Structure 1
């Protein structure tokens, strides 16, 4: 084991330039793995649901991944603080890639949801450890912001290619190929991380640590019950079962809070939430996740199911959203270290995200494509201003001792926001769409066809549409008009869901005032490296 000397400290990094570059390449490929999966799957999802026939589980393909990620991110963020991050990054790449293969092999929606849950465990390990490697390698936040451009670029390449690649693969090679595309990226990231990422760990964390398994179980119970509550309430109303879920959520959250106050190596350090600056950043992470994931998961359904675009065309319209997250991050890195008040970037970012959601709310089938893409650009730039700053601000505020767990918690809370956002939007869409279709069919005396039209998959599957139109014509109904009414119901339902996301983004602008003034300052690295 070698201790890096002060010669490297002056540059704000623990390794010389070449070693830093190769290590960052490894982390960048890991980032690409997660980003590629999210964007490719998002575009392919309507087609997947159409083939596997299970729209009631549409939201769960996203939320099962988010739920398991949310639970594992803080666990491995904490473990990485104590034992170094490299072994966990390697394990997570292997697990994530293997789970991707299982997703591609799924024959029904339940299997896919379970495989996505396993993939989420790998994704949570990745996010909890890989993201925190960067402040380990570059303790000086000014130097770190420069190097983060590499990760932003990798994120951008994956995001630029993702939606179009998802649409292209789905259209020409079937939806299973969107999961298998993770194999080559996984192998590439595994090679670079294994070979070049140093095993860094903090000197003060060399002692043994007891794992907080009760804390992990309580987090899982609280979040799982919350997820079920959000899903079931709009469908079934306040039933004894739904009320019981809310009660279990509240009790387990209370038990978690009290347990974590007493446990020495708490998975969720309660003192971090008492820090006003961190509490404000954590709140913004939840709100930002709500708006971000609602837009990322339901804009493709709006364009494909609502506007009738092909998977490839929908991918092209979505592409600016994810590409400009990267461009926004790079621009942000140039600006935030030069302005007197870095907090201003949060206000601008959330305002642009709100405008993007509002743009999607007023979007219509006849709206010019360049205008739709402009709305996506606004969202991308906004997220590019928000996400890196929340991370850097939290790392600055938390200090070295809680660096890994602060980074991990921020990612976790963003996912919790996303989980609530996708579940709430999903239940709104399912409920409102079914209601609109039932009304249209009743008015035409065609209630018999509700079982076929009550699921939005009919708006995406062209073959099934043809069969249904033939059946309706034989029975004397205007099938084209009924399908158009179904499309209008879906568009209206998604518009309401995205309007909620826009309101949440506006609330985020208001909440940004609670973040105390952050100064981007230089710090010295103190680590051991193998």
Structure 2
């Protein structure tokens, strides 16, 4: 395979304008694939759980995806640095699309969780490679931010359509259709990436690269054990099982650190964590992921289960959150290259994100919907100011040799934050809701009805509600009052869960001061090489 240095064309890009445009279209379709899945599934999830009857696995529909993603992102991010990203991007789209079809075929929650895990493997490969392709194509940071507006627009289109589409599909065609929508997007993605994305590689190798399977295995054990520990701790406390998982995570993490320090072909270059700027950015990525995923997964449950909205209306309420991620990214691209201190955008972004979470915490069913949408707008703008800057800052700091793994780690750590956030918020919501329901039933001397009301699915499934109300009336209880109490318990539980997310956003605002000043104007990395 012949290798030559890719020529740089005008305005700091590797390819001429037309070729750059077509390659970016391929990456945009890949972005739409991920964005559609996140927004459509988030809106449909309460309905899915209501039909498959498994609220105890509600958080696992999200966390199984995040767990497998978080393991595969750094692995394929590093492999992309060595072999080029194009083959892995294509493979990831195929895996993701096939897994989407399997999710649509699920007939129980366990099958759905497993299929989401497979989907997460594809998503992790995709995130670990596709997002770094932009830095390959546009080494100049200012040019890259301009072209990222195109990707942000694609992200915004998918996000604008996603929540409403998820609500409409769920309401009129059933929840399975929300997974099948990925199939045509996946086919478009494969075509454009195969046809137009160049096969760029960063490092010339005299010999075949040795794969760091030991490092990859230790990453999987460390993160997998951590996820299971986070899930088990609130439910079972410090039991023998949870302590074993924590010990396994710590031991494998320490072993990973020791191994990667002495390995000549390490999949995870530990010297990056000694870099003050990178370590600060990695910390912010974890905290941002915690807040973002908590808000995106539990706001729909609040609107549907707590406020009694239909899936379609809940989708419309979430739309401003995801649309303004894109608008925020576009506005950020225009501002950040012109201001003297680009780091200031991180402070603004985390402040807006904290305000959005606090707004949802004080939200009530009687609150005017335009005000609720304003909180969603603030959250979207905050994420739009934070996410692209964390990525570009990390790419500039890491340099070309570690560009892929730095980008992948940033995404992976965001997912770890999301994994911990959704698991802890989900467990907190589940326990607080169950406690509130038990209290209201005890007051009405109807505690034997706890099994019927302990799962919040009853607040979404109108058929089940009608049946339960009839049974409660026959038994001499005020069913409407008990359902309303359950709804209030769910609202209070989600409010407390998202209050934790707001505190984390404030902590991220405080931690942003640790990022050393970043200079964007004229910042470049050395060219990649093109494999033929």
For 2:312, the equivalent position in structure 1 comes to: 312
1:354·1:506 contact (CA, 8 Å) conserved in 2?
yes
CA shift, 1:203, in A, is 4.0
1:12·1:525 contact (CA, 8 Å) conserved in 2?
no
CA distance in 1, matches of 2:275, 2:222: 23
Q: What CA RMSD, in Å, does the superposition of the two structures yield over aligned residues? A: 1.1
Is it true that 1:268 corresponds to 2:268 in the alignment? yes
Runs of 4+ in 1 over 3 A off after TM superposition: 1-6, 203-207
Q: Which moved more, 1:23-32 or 1:234-243?
A: 234-243
For 2:303, the equivalent position in structure 1 comes to: 303
CA distance in 2, matches of 1:191, 1:10: 27
Is it true that 1:517 corresponds to 2:517 in the alignment? yes
For 1:356, the equivalent position in structure 2 comes to: 356
Map 1:395-406 onto structure 2 (within 5 A).
395-406=395-406
CA distance in 2, matches of 1:207, 1:496: 55
CA distance in 2, matches of 1:238, 1:57: 21
Closer, same or farther in 2 for the Cα pair 1:312/1:205, shift >3 Å?
Answer: farther
Is it true that 1:20 corresponds to 2:20 in the alignment? yes
Q: 1:359-385, CA deviations, whole angstroms, 9 ceiling, x for partnerless residues? A: 010000000000000000000000000
CA shift, 1:10, in A, is 4.4
For 2:325, the equivalent position in structure 1 comes to: 325
CA distance in 1, matches of 2:334, 2:204: 33
CA distance in 2, matches of 1:391, 1:206: 31
CA distance in 1, matches of 2:203, 2:353: 41
CA distance in 2, matches of 1:525, 1:13: 9
Q: 1:150-204, CA deviations, whole angstroms, 9 ceiling, x for partnerless residues? A: 1101100000000000000000000000000000000011110011111111243
Map 1:233-272 onto structure 2 (within 5 A).
233-272=233-272
1:82·1:206 contact (CA, 8 Å) conserved in 2?
no
- Secondary structure at the residue paired with 1:204? coil
CA distance in 2, matches of 1:337, 1:254: 40
For 2:530, the equivalent position in structure 1 comes to: 528
For 2:492, the equivalent position in structure 1 comes to: 492
CA shift, 1:528, in A, is 2.1
Q: 1:17-44, CA deviations, whole angstroms, 9 ceiling, x for partnerless residues? A: 0000000000000000000000000000
CA distance in 1, matches of 2:503, 2:6: 50
CA shift, 1:262, in A, is 1.2
Is it true that 1:108 corresponds to 2:108 in the alignment? yes
For 2:119, the equivalent position in structure 1 comes to: 119
- Secondary structure at the residue paired with 1:11? helix
| Residue-pair matches, total | 529
Closer, same or farther in 2 for the Cα pair 1:5/1:273, shift >3 Å?
Answer: closer
- Secondary structure at the residue paired with 2:328? helix
CA shift, 1:525, in A, is 2.3
- Secondary structure at the residue paired with 1:151? helix
- Secondary structure at the residue paired with 1:528? strand
1:156·1:327 contact (CA, 8 Å) conserved in 2?
yes
CA distance in 2, matches of 1:415, 1:57: 19
CA shift, 1:452, in A, is 1.1
- Secondary structure at the residue paired with 2:254? helix
- Give structure 1 stretches of 5+ with no counterpart: none
Map 1:143-292 onto structure 2 (within 5 A).
143-205=143-205, 207-292=207-292
- Secondary structure at the residue paired with 2:301? helix
CA shift, 1:454, in A, is 0.3
For 1:89, the equivalent position in structure 2 comes to: 89
CA distance in 1, matches of 2:122, 2:74: 13
Give the TM-score normalised by structure 2. 0.98
CA distance in 2, matches of 1:210, 1:447: 62
Give the TM-score normalised by structure 1. 0.98
- Give structure 2 stretches of 5+ with no counterpart: none
CA distance in 1, matches of 2:236, 2:485: 25
2:104·2:180 contact (CA, 8 Å) conserved in 1?
yes
CA distance in 1, matches of 2:245, 2:14: 48
